[in-house]
Homo-oligomer: A and B are copies of this chain.
Amino acid sequence: MIKIAVDAMGSDLGSSVVVTAIQKFLKDYPDVAFIVCGQENELSALNNLERVSICPTTGVMGMEDGALDVMRRKDTSMMKAIEYMANKEVNAVVSAGSTGAFLTAATLKLRLIPGVMRAALVSPFPRQDGQSVTILDIGANNENQPAQLVQFAHMGKVFNQVMNGTKEPKIYLLSNGAEAKKGSPLVKEAHKLLEVEPGLNFKGNLEAREVLSGVADVVVADGYSGNVLLKATEGVASMMNGMIKTAFKTNVLTKIGYIFAKKGFGDFKARMDYKKYGGAMLLGVNGVVVKGHGNSDDYAFYNAIRVAYTLAKQDIVTALGKEMAHGEGL
Protein backbone atom coordinates (compact mmCIF):
# COMPACT_ATOMS: atom_id res chain seq x y z
CA MET A 1 0.00 0.00 0.00
CA ILE A 2 1.33 3.45 -0.98
CA LYS A 3 0.33 6.07 1.58
CA ILE A 4 0.09 9.69 0.50
CA ALA A 5 -0.41 12.75 2.71
CA VAL A 6 -2.30 15.52 0.94
CA ASP A 7 -2.54 19.23 1.80
CA ALA A 8 -6.13 19.83 0.74
CA MET A 9 -6.14 23.60 1.34
CA GLY A 10 -3.36 24.92 -0.90
CA SER A 11 -5.00 25.07 -4.33
CA ASP A 12 -6.19 28.39 -5.75
CA LEU A 13 -9.42 26.69 -6.78
CA GLY A 14 -10.18 25.43 -3.28
CA SER A 15 -10.37 22.07 -1.58
CA SER A 16 -13.13 20.70 -3.83
CA VAL A 17 -10.71 19.99 -6.70
CA VAL A 18 -8.53 18.03 -4.24
CA VAL A 19 -11.52 16.04 -2.99
CA THR A 20 -12.60 15.14 -6.54
CA ALA A 21 -9.04 14.14 -7.50
CA ILE A 22 -8.71 11.87 -4.46
CA GLN A 23 -12.09 10.21 -5.09
CA LYS A 24 -11.09 9.39 -8.65
CA PHE A 25 -7.59 8.25 -7.70
CA LEU A 26 -8.98 5.82 -5.10
CA LYS A 27 -11.13 4.22 -7.81
CA ASP A 28 -8.23 3.90 -10.28
CA TYR A 29 -5.55 2.66 -7.87
CA PRO A 30 -6.47 -0.10 -5.39
CA ASP A 31 -3.10 0.04 -3.57
CA VAL A 32 -3.20 3.65 -2.42
CA ALA A 33 -4.31 5.23 0.86
CA PHE A 34 -4.59 8.90 1.78
CA ILE A 35 -4.19 11.07 4.83
CA VAL A 36 -5.95 14.30 3.92
CA CYS A 37 -5.10 17.44 5.91
CA GLY A 38 -7.56 20.32 5.84
CA GLN A 39 -10.66 21.99 7.23
CA GLU A 40 -13.01 19.21 8.28
CA ASN A 41 -16.24 20.72 6.96
CA GLU A 42 -14.76 20.96 3.46
CA LEU A 43 -13.71 17.30 3.42
CA SER A 44 -16.98 15.63 4.40
CA ALA A 45 -17.23 13.84 1.04
CA LEU A 46 -14.14 11.82 2.01
CA ASN A 47 -15.33 11.08 5.56
CA ASN A 48 -16.31 7.46 5.49
CA LEU A 49 -14.11 6.18 2.67
CA GLU A 50 -12.13 3.05 3.42
CA ARG A 51 -8.63 4.14 2.45
CA VAL A 52 -8.87 7.75 3.62
CA SER A 53 -8.20 9.27 6.99
CA ILE A 54 -8.80 12.93 7.69
CA CYS A 55 -6.35 15.05 9.63
CA PRO A 56 -8.38 18.10 10.68
CA THR A 57 -6.51 21.40 10.61
CA THR A 58 -7.55 25.01 11.08
CA GLY A 59 -4.71 27.09 9.57
CA VAL A 60 -4.15 27.66 5.87
CA MET A 61 -0.92 28.90 4.31
CA GLY A 62 -1.58 31.87 2.02
CA MET A 63 -0.16 31.81 -1.50
CA GLU A 64 1.92 34.84 -0.55
CA ASP A 65 3.30 33.19 2.57
CA GLY A 66 6.95 32.43 2.18
CA ALA A 67 9.87 30.69 3.75
CA LEU A 68 9.77 32.66 6.99
CA ASP A 69 6.07 32.22 7.67
CA VAL A 70 5.74 28.50 7.21
CA MET A 71 7.70 27.19 10.17
CA ARG A 72 5.75 29.41 12.55
CA ARG A 73 2.40 28.05 11.32
CA LYS A 74 2.38 24.56 12.82
CA ASP A 75 -1.41 24.34 12.62
CA THR A 76 -1.60 24.54 8.84
CA SER A 77 -2.68 21.72 6.55
CA MET A 78 0.64 22.09 4.71
CA MET A 79 2.81 21.62 7.80
CA LYS A 80 0.70 18.71 9.05
CA ALA A 81 0.99 16.92 5.70
CA ILE A 82 4.77 17.43 5.64
CA GLU A 83 5.06 16.13 9.20
CA TYR A 84 3.48 12.81 8.19
CA MET A 85 6.22 12.48 5.57
CA ALA A 86 8.94 13.53 8.05
CA ASN A 87 7.71 10.89 10.52
CA LYS A 88 7.70 8.29 7.72
CA GLU A 89 4.00 7.59 8.30
CA VAL A 90 3.43 8.10 4.56
CA ASN A 91 5.39 7.40 1.36
CA ALA A 92 4.74 10.78 -0.26
CA VAL A 93 3.30 14.25 0.31
CA VAL A 94 1.44 16.46 -2.20
CA SER A 95 0.47 20.15 -2.01
CA ALA A 96 -0.65 22.82 -4.47
CA GLY A 97 0.06 25.61 -1.98
CA SER A 98 2.71 28.36 -1.91
CA THR A 99 5.85 27.01 -3.58
CA GLY A 100 8.27 28.92 -1.36
CA ALA A 101 6.57 27.83 1.85
CA PHE A 102 6.20 24.18 0.76
CA LEU A 103 9.80 23.76 -0.42
CA THR A 104 11.26 25.48 2.63
CA ALA A 105 9.19 23.49 5.11
CA ALA A 106 9.85 20.20 3.29
CA THR A 107 13.60 20.83 3.19
CA LEU A 108 13.80 21.86 6.85
CA LYS A 109 11.56 19.04 8.10
CA LEU A 110 12.78 16.15 5.92
CA ARG A 111 16.42 17.25 5.58
CA LEU A 112 18.59 16.48 2.58
CA ILE A 113 19.71 13.02 1.48
CA PRO A 114 23.31 12.55 2.74
CA GLY A 115 25.75 14.11 0.28
CA VAL A 116 23.19 16.37 -1.40
CA MET A 117 24.15 20.07 -1.25
CA ARG A 118 20.88 21.54 -2.51
CA ALA A 119 17.45 20.16 -3.33
CA ALA A 120 16.14 20.83 -6.85
CA LEU A 121 12.65 21.12 -8.28
CA VAL A 122 12.18 18.83 -11.26
CA SER A 123 9.41 18.33 -13.79
CA PRO A 124 8.89 16.47 -17.04
CA PHE A 125 8.16 18.73 -20.05
CA PRO A 126 6.44 17.56 -23.26
CA ARG A 127 8.90 16.87 -26.08
CA GLN A 128 8.19 17.26 -29.79
CA ASP A 129 8.35 13.46 -30.28
CA GLY A 130 5.61 12.82 -27.71
CA GLN A 131 8.06 11.74 -25.02
CA SER A 132 9.10 13.94 -22.11
CA VAL A 133 12.29 15.65 -21.03
CA THR A 134 13.35 16.00 -17.38
CA ILE A 135 14.33 19.58 -16.47
CA LEU A 136 15.88 20.68 -13.17
CA ASP A 137 16.23 22.93 -11.20
CA ILE A 138 13.10 24.80 -12.22
CA GLY A 139 12.93 27.02 -9.18
CA ALA A 140 13.99 25.64 -5.79
CA ASN A 141 17.12 27.83 -5.84
CA ASN A 142 17.82 31.48 -6.63
CA GLU A 143 21.54 30.90 -7.02
CA ASN A 144 23.68 27.79 -7.53
CA GLN A 145 27.30 26.70 -7.48
CA PRO A 146 28.88 24.60 -10.29
CA ALA A 147 29.19 21.49 -8.10
CA GLN A 148 25.46 21.71 -7.32
CA LEU A 149 24.66 21.53 -11.05
CA VAL A 150 26.71 18.32 -11.24
CA GLN A 151 24.54 16.88 -8.49
CA PHE A 152 21.42 18.02 -10.33
CA ALA A 153 22.67 15.99 -13.31
CA HIS A 154 22.86 12.86 -11.13
CA MET A 155 19.43 13.48 -9.61
CA GLY A 156 17.88 14.23 -13.01
CA LYS A 157 19.35 11.00 -14.35
CA VAL A 158 17.70 8.97 -11.59
CA PHE A 159 14.37 10.79 -12.01
CA ASN A 160 14.41 10.10 -15.75
CA GLN A 161 15.32 6.44 -15.22
CA VAL A 162 12.47 6.00 -12.74
CA MET A 163 9.79 7.99 -14.63
CA ASN A 164 10.68 7.20 -18.26
CA GLY A 165 12.64 3.95 -17.94
CA THR A 166 15.53 5.33 -20.02
CA LYS A 167 18.66 3.31 -19.23
CA GLU A 168 21.31 5.95 -19.86
CA PRO A 169 19.52 9.29 -20.18
CA LYS A 170 21.24 11.83 -22.42
CA ILE A 171 22.11 14.76 -20.16
CA TYR A 172 22.61 18.34 -21.40
CA LEU A 173 23.50 21.60 -19.69
CA LEU A 174 21.32 24.64 -20.50
CA SER A 175 23.44 27.42 -22.01
CA ASN A 176 23.31 30.35 -24.40
CA GLY A 177 25.23 28.40 -27.05
CA ALA A 178 25.96 24.78 -27.95
CA GLU A 179 29.74 25.16 -27.86
CA ALA A 180 31.55 24.15 -24.65
CA LYS A 181 33.02 27.63 -24.20
CA LYS A 182 29.60 29.34 -24.22
CA GLY A 183 27.67 30.30 -21.10
CA SER A 184 27.56 32.32 -17.93
CA PRO A 185 30.57 31.93 -15.61
CA LEU A 186 28.53 29.36 -13.65
CA VAL A 187 27.68 27.34 -16.76
CA LYS A 188 31.26 27.36 -18.06
CA GLU A 189 32.55 26.03 -14.75
CA ALA A 190 29.78 23.42 -14.46
CA HIS A 191 30.50 22.27 -18.03
CA LYS A 192 34.13 21.53 -17.13
CA LEU A 193 33.06 19.50 -14.10
CA LEU A 194 30.37 17.58 -16.01
CA GLU A 195 32.81 16.62 -18.77
CA VAL A 196 34.98 14.66 -16.35
CA GLU A 197 32.21 13.43 -14.02
CA PRO A 198 31.88 9.61 -14.07
CA GLY A 199 28.51 7.89 -14.30
CA LEU A 200 26.82 10.51 -16.45
CA ASN A 201 25.97 10.33 -20.14
CA PHE A 202 26.82 14.04 -20.52
CA LYS A 203 26.35 15.34 -24.06
CA GLY A 204 27.27 19.02 -23.73
CA ASN A 205 25.51 22.38 -23.81
CA LEU A 206 22.02 22.91 -25.14
CA GLU A 207 20.30 26.15 -26.13
CA ALA A 208 16.83 26.86 -24.73
CA ARG A 209 15.44 26.59 -28.26
CA GLU A 210 16.41 22.86 -28.42
CA VAL A 211 15.13 21.84 -24.99
CA LEU A 212 11.83 20.37 -26.27
CA SER A 213 13.23 19.19 -29.61
CA GLY A 214 13.80 15.61 -28.48
CA VAL A 215 17.61 15.45 -28.31
CA ALA A 216 17.78 15.65 -24.52
CA ASP A 217 16.42 13.31 -21.83
CA VAL A 218 17.64 15.51 -18.99
CA VAL A 219 18.40 19.26 -19.03
CA VAL A 220 20.33 20.75 -16.11
CA ALA A 221 20.02 24.45 -15.21
CA ASP A 222 20.48 26.66 -12.20
CA GLY A 223 17.20 27.39 -10.39
CA TYR A 224 16.82 30.91 -11.68
CA SER A 225 17.41 30.16 -15.39
CA GLY A 226 15.41 26.95 -15.11
CA ASN A 227 12.48 28.93 -13.75
CA VAL A 228 12.70 31.41 -16.63
CA LEU A 229 12.74 28.44 -19.04
CA LEU A 230 9.73 26.79 -17.38
CA LYS A 231 7.63 29.92 -17.28
CA ALA A 232 8.56 31.16 -20.76
CA THR A 233 7.55 27.74 -22.10
CA GLU A 234 4.24 27.80 -20.22
CA GLY A 235 3.60 31.39 -21.25
CA VAL A 236 4.13 30.87 -24.97
CA ALA A 237 2.22 27.58 -24.98
CA SER A 238 -0.75 29.16 -23.23
CA MET A 239 -0.69 32.23 -25.49
CA MET A 240 -0.59 30.08 -28.62
CA ASN A 241 -3.35 27.80 -27.34
CA GLY A 242 -5.44 30.93 -26.89
CA MET A 243 -4.58 32.08 -30.40
CA ILE A 244 -5.57 28.71 -31.87
CA LYS A 245 -8.99 29.03 -30.24
CA THR A 246 -9.33 32.59 -31.57
CA ALA A 247 -8.23 31.45 -35.04
CA PHE A 248 -11.00 28.84 -35.17
CA LYS A 249 -13.55 31.40 -33.96
CA THR A 250 -12.67 34.02 -36.63
CA ASN A 251 -15.80 33.45 -38.73
CA VAL A 252 -18.39 30.86 -39.75
CA LEU A 253 -16.00 29.14 -42.16
CA THR A 254 -13.22 28.75 -39.60
CA LYS A 255 -15.80 27.37 -37.15
CA ILE A 256 -16.77 24.75 -39.73
CA GLY A 257 -13.05 24.15 -40.22
CA TYR A 258 -12.77 23.30 -36.53
CA ILE A 259 -15.41 20.60 -36.81
CA PHE A 260 -13.35 18.90 -39.49
CA ALA A 261 -9.93 19.52 -37.92
CA LYS A 262 -10.99 18.59 -34.36
CA LYS A 263 -9.38 15.16 -34.41
CA GLY A 264 -5.92 16.53 -35.27
CA PHE A 265 -6.12 19.22 -32.60
CA GLY A 266 -7.28 16.79 -29.92
CA ASP A 267 -3.91 15.01 -30.12
CA PHE A 268 -2.20 18.38 -30.19
CA LYS A 269 -3.91 19.59 -27.05
CA ALA A 270 -3.15 16.36 -25.23
CA ARG A 271 0.51 16.65 -26.05
CA MET A 272 0.94 20.28 -24.95
CA ASP A 273 -1.21 19.88 -21.85
CA TYR A 274 0.90 20.84 -18.85
CA LYS A 275 -1.84 19.60 -16.56
CA LYS A 276 -1.00 16.06 -17.67
CA TYR A 277 2.38 16.38 -15.96
CA GLY A 278 0.62 17.50 -12.80
CA GLY A 279 3.39 18.10 -10.37
CA ALA A 280 6.99 19.02 -9.84
CA MET A 281 9.04 16.93 -7.40
CA LEU A 282 11.51 18.34 -4.91
CA LEU A 283 14.52 16.07 -5.50
CA GLY A 284 17.22 15.57 -2.89
CA VAL A 285 15.18 15.54 0.32
CA ASN A 286 14.38 12.43 2.39
CA GLY A 287 10.95 11.84 0.99
CA VAL A 288 8.72 12.09 -2.06
CA VAL A 289 7.59 15.72 -2.11
CA VAL A 290 5.34 16.77 -5.00
CA LYS A 291 4.20 20.33 -5.68
CA GLY A 292 1.06 20.68 -7.79
CA HIS A 293 0.47 23.85 -9.80
CA GLY A 294 -1.23 26.58 -7.73
CA ASN A 295 -4.15 26.77 -10.17
CA SER A 296 -4.53 22.96 -10.46
CA ASP A 297 -7.98 21.75 -11.38
CA ASP A 298 -9.01 18.22 -10.34
CA TYR A 299 -7.39 16.69 -13.44
CA ALA A 300 -4.06 18.44 -12.75
CA PHE A 301 -4.19 17.55 -9.05
CA TYR A 302 -4.99 13.93 -9.94
CA ASN A 303 -1.82 13.90 -12.03
CA ALA A 304 0.21 15.45 -9.22
CA ILE A 305 -0.94 12.55 -7.04
CA ARG A 306 -0.02 10.14 -9.85
CA VAL A 307 3.53 11.56 -9.96
CA ALA A 308 3.84 11.13 -6.18
CA TYR A 309 2.42 7.59 -6.35
CA THR A 310 4.76 6.52 -9.17
CA LEU A 311 7.88 7.93 -7.55
CA ALA A 312 7.01 6.48 -4.13
CA LYS A 313 6.21 3.06 -5.59
CA GLN A 314 9.55 3.02 -7.43
CA ASP A 315 11.27 4.17 -4.24
CA ILE A 316 13.11 7.03 -5.89
CA VAL A 317 14.54 8.24 -2.58
CA THR A 318 16.52 5.02 -2.12
CA ALA A 319 17.66 5.17 -5.76
CA LEU A 320 18.81 8.77 -5.26
CA GLY A 321 20.66 7.84 -2.07
CA LYS A 322 22.53 5.10 -3.94
CA GLU A 323 23.40 7.42 -6.84
CA MET A 324 24.73 10.07 -4.48
CA ALA A 325 26.70 7.56 -2.39
CA HIS A 326 28.20 5.51 -5.23
CA GLY A 327 28.33 8.09 -8.02
CA GLU A 328 32.06 8.65 -8.06
CA GLY A 329 33.20 12.20 -7.63
CA LEU A 330 30.35 13.17 -5.37
Whether A272 and B253, one on each chain, are in contact in the complex, defined by CB atoms closer than 8 angstroms, is no
Whether A260 touches B265, Cβ cut-off 8 Å, given contacts A142-B184, A228-B208, is: no
Task: Check: A232 CB closer than 8 A to any chain B CB.
Answer: yes
In terms of DSSP, what is the predominant structure of the interface of chain A? helix
Tell me whether A268 and B244 are in contact in the complex, defined as CB-CB below 8 angstroms, given that A143-B185, A232-B208, A232-B233 are known contacts: yes
Contacts of A243 in B (CB 8 A): 128, 268, 271-272
- The copy count of this chain in the complex is 2
**A264 close to B251 (CB less than 8 A):** yes
Which of B209, B227, B262 is close to A257, meaning CB atoms less than 8 Å apart? B262
**Inside 8 A of A223's CB, which chain B residues have their CB?**
176
Do residues A257 and B261 form an inter-chain contact, with CB atoms below 8 A? yes
With contacts A258-B257, A268-B243 taken as known, whether A250 is within 8 angstroms of B263 at the C-beta atoms is yes
Q: 15 interchain pairs (CB within 8 A)?
A: A64-B179, A139-B176, A143-B184, A176-B224, A176-B231, A208-B228, A213-B239, A236-B236, A236-B240, A240-B240, A244-B268, A246-B264, A247-B264, A249-B264, A260-B260
Instruction: Show the binding face of A for B, using Cβ within 8 Å.
Output: 64, 66, 128, 139, 142-143, 174, 176, 179, 181, 183-185, 187, 207-213, 221, 223-225, 227-240, 242-244, 246-251, 253-254, 256-265, 267-268, 271-272
